[in-house]
């Protein structure tokens, strides 16, 4: 559907994209994730041909985007884009939603029917006559989505579609995105800084950090097998440890992390310096005696340092020779009667540890 080959883009002295290559497949929800100002918007604008790739090539729907403006218009008419801060033209909601249809010279009857259809789809039935100047942010966002959808695009580009919305409106938009993709088969490229949203929506995720795509994969790979420290930090992995492999017994590595030996599945040779990632949800806190387990498991004696309530959960920092963070439900925290200074045991499966050699981890 879309193909970026070694694309770089600068604005004057400032480089915003550096050697980006990826492919978006037909029918998927492809999500660009990263903090603000890392080039996600530029990628979307290049796809929409609002900007040229400085270096490299971009092909959209099998067509190289270095083409005449006339052919670009034809290509653009198969896609729809919703900007992070959508701008509405003066006039009514219906006039705004009809714009793309008018450009494509739809007959007036079709236009009014189609406008009602898409307004219905985004939950704004009956808004046709409203002036756009009276709309709230969420309504405007939905008008912008309706406007992009009206001509029936094959490809939908969404730049931070819920960045300015409250949780209820966000959920509505997310459900709409999923149903558009599932029911109409529209390919969607979406940018977001919200990792949880990416996990909820994405078929595949590209992590955009510092002008580059750091990692590209399905949500499981991104969330459980981050390729680097930066990605790990972004996806909420609090436990990032540096260590060195001391032994490897048939795929189960023994890793020295500042004096503590951890087990993890890994095929690297002894002597390799590695970075370890463990999601805080994968850590278990116990108060009883440390018992042996059949499955490879890391069990460490530890002392609780801090307890921080977080919604329905509690985030626990412990000192187990290395500093680790666990997240458990508030209820189990109360049942265990945890408090700072208390001795506990921390355990996590060897499988929960994701190992990356240091060179790659950067």
Partner 1 sequence: MNEIIDGFVQAFQLIISLDPEVIEITARSLLISLAATAVASLVAIPLGGLIHFREFGGKRGLITIIQTLYALPTVVAGLFVFLLLSRAGPLGFLGLLFTPTGMVIGQAVLIIPVLAGMTLVALSGVKKTISDEIVALGATQTQAILTIIKEARFAIIGGIILGFGRAISEVGAAMIIGGNIRGYTRVLTTAIALETSMGNIALSIALGIILLGIAMVVTVALFLVQER
Cβ nearer to partner 1, comparing 138 with 151: 151
Query: What is the chain's percent helix, strand, coil content, to nearest 5?
Result: 30, 35, 30
Q: Closest distance between partner 1 and the C-beta of residue 8, in Å?
A: 22
Q: Closest distance between partner 1 and the C-beta of residue 154, in Å?
A: 13
- Should residue 13 be labelled a site residue for partner 1 when binding is judged by CB under 8 A? no
- Should residue 81 be labelled a site residue for partner 1 when binding is judged by CB under 8 A? yes
| Residue span 36-75 as binding mask against partner 1, x where in contact by CB under 8 A, dash where not | ------------x-x------------------xx--x--
Q: Which residues, in sequence order, are CB contacts of 124 under 8 Å at separation 6+?
A: 93, 139, 142, 143, 146
Nearest-10 Cα torsion for 6, 11, 13, 19: -10
CA contacts within 13 A on the Cβ side of 54:
14
Cβ nearer to partner 1, comparing 66 with 360: 66
Q: Closest distance between partner 1 and the C-beta of residue 122, in Å?
A: 16
What kind and span of H or E run contains 194?
Answer: none
| Residue span 101-130 as binding mask against partner 1, x where in contact by CB under 8 A, dash where not | --xx--------------------------
The C-alpha angle 104, 57, 45, rounded to 5 degrees, equals 50
CA distance 289 to 206: 43
- Selected from 76, 142, 193, 204, the binder of partner 1 by CB under 8 A is 76
Is residue 36 helix, strand or coil? coil
Q: Closest distance between partner 1 and the C-beta of residue 144, in Å?
A: 8
CB 173 within 8 A of CB 162: yes
Cβ nearer to partner 1, comparing 159 with 230: 159
- Should residue 83 be labelled a site residue for partner 1 when binding is judged by CB under 8 A? yes
Q: What is the CA radius of gyration of the chain?
A: 25
Cβ nearer to partner 1, comparing 53 with 219: 53
CB 32 within 8 A of CB 48: no
| Residue span 263-302 as binding mask against partner 1, x where in contact by CB under 8 A, dash where not | ----------------------------------------
Question: Which parts of 187-216 interact with partner 1 (CB under 8 A)?
Answer: none
Q: Closest distance between partner 1 and the C-beta of residue 63, in Å?
A: 15
CA distance 332 to 327: 10
Q: Quick one: residue 65, left, alpha or beta (phi over 0 = left, psi -120 to 50 = alpha)? A: alpha
- Selected from 87, 168, 289, 292, the binder of partner 1 by CB under 8 A is 87
- Selected from 34, 53, 138, 151, the binder of partner 1 by CB under 8 A is 151
CB 54 within 8 A of CB 249: no
- Should residue 163 be labelled a site residue for partner 1 when binding is judged by CB under 8 A? no
- The count of residues interacting with partner 1 (CB under 8 A) is 23
Q: Closest distance between partner 1 and the C-beta of residue 81, in Å?
A: 4
- Selected from 80, 219, 227, 280, the binder of partner 1 by CB under 8 A is 80
CA contacts within 13 A on the Cβ side of 327:
14
- Selected from 25, 66, 85, 293, the binder of partner 1 by CB under 8 A is 85
What is the b/e burial string over 223-232, where b = at least 16 CB atoms within 10 angstroms of the residue's CB?
A: bbbbbbbbbb
Secondary structure, 3-state, 21-79: EEEECCCCEEEEECCCCCCHHHHHHHHCCCCCCCEEEEEECCEECCCCHHHHHHHHCCE
Q: Which residues bind partner 1 (CB under 8 A)?
A: 48, 50, 69-70, 73, 76-77, 80-81, 83, 85-87, 89-90, 99-100, 103-104, 144, 147-148, 151
């Amino acid at each position: 559907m879309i193909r970026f080959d070694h694309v770089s883009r600068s604005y004057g002295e400032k480089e915003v994209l550096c050697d980006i290559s990826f492919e978006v497949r037909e029918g998927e929800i492809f999500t660009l994730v990263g903090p603000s100002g890392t080039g996600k918007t530029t990628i979307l604008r290049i796809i929409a041909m609002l900007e040229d790739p400085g270096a490299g090539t971009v092909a959209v729907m099998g067509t190289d985007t270095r083409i005449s403006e006339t052919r670009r218009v034809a290509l653009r008419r198969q896609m729809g884009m919703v900007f992070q801060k959508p701008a509405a033209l003066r006039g009514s909601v219906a006039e705004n939603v009809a714009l793309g249809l008018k450009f494509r010279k739809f007959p007036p009857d079709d236009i009014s029917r189609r406008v009602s259809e898409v307004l219905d789809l985004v939950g704004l039935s009956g808004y046709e006559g409203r002036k756009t100047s009276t709309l709230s942010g969420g309504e405007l966002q939905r008008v912008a989505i309706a406007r992009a959808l009206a001509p029936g695009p094959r490809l939908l580009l969404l730049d931070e579609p819920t960045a300015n919305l409250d949780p209820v409106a966000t959920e509505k938009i997310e459900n709409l995105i999923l149903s558009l993709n599932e029911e109409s088969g529209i390919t969607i490229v979406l940018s977001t800084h919200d990792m949880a949203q990416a996990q909820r929506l994405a078929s595949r995720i590209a992590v955009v950090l510092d002008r580059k795509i750091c990692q590209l994969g399905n949500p499981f790979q991104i969330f459980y097998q981050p390729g680097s420290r930066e990605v790990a930090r972004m996806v909420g992995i609090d436990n990032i440890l540096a260590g060195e492999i001391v032994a490897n017994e048939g795929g189960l590595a023994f890793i020295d992390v500042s004096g503590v030996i951890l087990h993890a599945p890994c095929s690297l040779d002894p002597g390799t310096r590695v970075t370890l990632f463990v999601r805080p949800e994968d850590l278990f806190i116990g108060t009883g005696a440390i018992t042996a387990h059949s499955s490879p498991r890391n069990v460490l004696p530890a002392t609780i340092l801090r307890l921080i309530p977080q919604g329905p959960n509690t985030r626990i920092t412990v000192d187990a020779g290395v500093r680790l963070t666990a997240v458990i439900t508030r209820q189990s925290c109360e049942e265990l009667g945890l408090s700072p200074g208390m001795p506990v045991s921390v355990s996590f499966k060897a499988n929960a540890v994701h190992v990356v050699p240091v060179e790659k981890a950067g």
